[in-house]
Every structure is written in C-alpha cells, then in structure tokens.
C-alpha cells in the first residue's frame, strides 16, 4: 500500500489539470449514455452511476478544482483507479460485449481515465493557511 501511495504522488500531471479533466470525464459519463442508445440497460445505468460518482469525486477533492474539498487527493486517486478498471472490465463481466458501441466506449473511456490517473500527481495544490498568512504584507 505504501508503494501505491508513493506512486500516486509522483506523476507529471498536476492536480489542477487532473481536476479539470475530472469535470469533463463526469460530463462525458453522464452525457454519453443519454446521447447514445446502448441497447442495454445495465450499460446505461452503470455509466450514469459512474458519472455521478465522478462528479462527487471532482467536487469533493481537497485541491484547487474541488468545491467541498474534504477528500484527500490520494483517496481520489485510488477511487479513480477502481472506477476506471470497472469501466474497462464491465462489458465483459456484466455481459454486454455484444453491444459494440457500449463496449468500445467503456474500454476507451476507462483506458483514457486510467492513463490520466496513473500520470497524475495526487497531492493538494492548495497553500496551507499559515503559508498564505506569511505571504500577506503587514498592515
């Protein structure tokens, strides 16, 4: 576990860039099953659920693009890894591989998300309050 935590803090992609990509991913996960008829209710519902979860992760992570800022970035990273693996394997495990469009979209979105996750530096990019106070000029 310690190795995973160290790995998640070393990527070249900044928390700010990853945070912006999170909102795009969440929007895509919600929009795609509404715009494309998967012909499979499981594929549709799962992608909508994952889109909702991605939205919650995006707004709840403690970095500059988060809104509520309660989740540590490393927890976000672990959740991203799990969600993207679910996207990649879902068509095969849940049996909707005969739906080519759904399968391709699941695997492509999952692989892209996993790649972005593995390249991200999962640390907060917010300045601690004490550091901000030191930077303020004395009144």
Task: Tell me the C-alpha distance between 133 and 29, whole Å.
Answer: 40
pTM for the model:
0.86
List the chain pLDDT tens, one digit each, 139 residues: 788 778 888 899 999 999 999 999 999 999 999 999 999 999 999 999 999 999 999 999 999 999 999 999 999 999 999 999 999 999 999 999 999 999 999 999 999 999 999 999 999 999 775 444 445 555 5
Nearest alpha-carbon partner for 10 in 70, 77, 60: 77
Task: Tell me the C-alpha distance between 39 and 56, whole Å.
Answer: 27
71 Cβ contact partners less than 8 Å away, ≥ 6 residues apart:
57, 60, 61, 62
Do 109 and 80 meet the contact criterion of CB atoms below 8 Å apart? no
Going through the chain in order, the beta strands assigned E by DSSP cover: none
């Amino acid at each position: 576990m310690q190795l995973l935590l160290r790995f998640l803090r070393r990527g070249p992609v900044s928390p700010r860039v990853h945070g912006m990509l999170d909102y795009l991913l969440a929007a895509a996960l919600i929009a795609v099953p509404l715009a494309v008829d998967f012909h499979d209710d499981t594929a549709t519902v799962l992608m909508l659920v994952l889109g909702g979860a991605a939205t919650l992760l995006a707004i709840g992570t403690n970095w500059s693009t988060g809104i509520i800022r309660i989740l540590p970035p490393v927890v976000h990273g672990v959740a991203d890894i799990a969600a993207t693996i679910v996207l990649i394997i879902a068509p095969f495990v849940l049996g909707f591989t005969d739906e080519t469009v759904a399968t391709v979209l699941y695997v492509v979105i999952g692989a892209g998300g996993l790649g972005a996750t593995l390249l991200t530096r999962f640390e907060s990019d917010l300045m601690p309050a004490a550091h901000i106070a030191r930077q303020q000029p004395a009144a």
